[in-house]
Amino acid sequence: MVIGHYAVAMAAKRVAPRTSLGTLIAAAILLDLIWPVLVLFGIEIVAVTPGATAVTPLIFVSYPYSHSLLMSIVWGLLFAGGYFVARRYVPGTITLGVLVVSHWILDAVVHVPDLPLTPWGSTRIGLGLWNSRPLSLGVELALFCFGLALYIGTTSRRNSTGTWGLGLMAAVMLLIYAGAIFGPPPPSANIVAWTGMGQWLVVVLAAWMDRHRRAS
């Protein structure tokens, strides 16, 4: 899942209005920010196999430290704990921890059974929505529209940048999704990892845009 993660982060602004949208998105995609680093260091493994599913050509061979349920809870506690030390904002702290774990839950809906429960267990989870492109598109776009609508309803613009910046952010998110769904298979696992690191752009863009809007 891609923009579905962005969607829950935008929706979460309603329950943690003082937390930057950039921070909320960083939490929602934290596992996908950690994963490329582990792939580049050879700790986790992904294979490019065109036709692996209707949506993605990637087979996630091994990613126990970034994408197991247990480790998502650990990463959530660490991220939320760091935020609490820095900000002392309880609603934001709880929301960030939940967002990190929500990544695993949303991935479990779309992935084929490849998500581990623990780094050392053999059980793999996944409902396989990626086997249907129309269903995958429908679910993610519906989530995205819902999350964006909640964010817009929760905030108002401080200035004109708060309007066109929001449009720019939404456009970038949708372009990333379109590239992931309709783009050609990447030539190598390393390219996949480096491309995945590009999601930091969304975090930075969201943090910048959010400063030009205020909680209603």
Please state, in angstroms and rounded to a whole number, the distance separating the CA atoms of residues 24 and 103.
12
What was the pLDDT predicted at 1? 85
- Using H for helix, E for strand and C for coil, what is the string for 133-193? HHHHHHHHHHHHHHHHHHHHHHEEECCCHHHHHHHHHHHHHHHHHHHHHHCCCCCCHHHHH
The 3-state DSSP class for residue 23 equals: helix
Work out whether the CA dihedral 184, 186, 192, 197 comes out positive or negative. Answer: negative
pTM: 0.96
Query: Which positions of the chain have pLDDT values less than 50?
Result: none
What was the pLDDT predicted at 105? 97
What was the pLDDT predicted at 106? 97
What does the buried/exposed string (b/e) look like for 28-61 if buried means 16 or more CB atoms within 10 Å of the residue's CB?
A: bbbbbbbbbebbbeeebebebeeebbebbbbebe
- Count CB atoms within 10 A of the CB of residue 138: 12
Please state, in angstroms and rounded to a whole number, the distance separating the CA atoms of residues 102 and 114.
17
Q: Length of the chain, please?
A: 216
What was the pLDDT predicted at 60? 97
Q: Which two tokens stand for residue 7?
A: 């969607």
What was the pLDDT predicted at 5? 97
Q: Are 144 and 6 in contact (CB under 8 A)?
A: yes
What was the pLDDT predicted at 216? 79
pLDDT digits (tens, 9 = 90+) for 35-57: 999 999 999 999 999 999 999 99
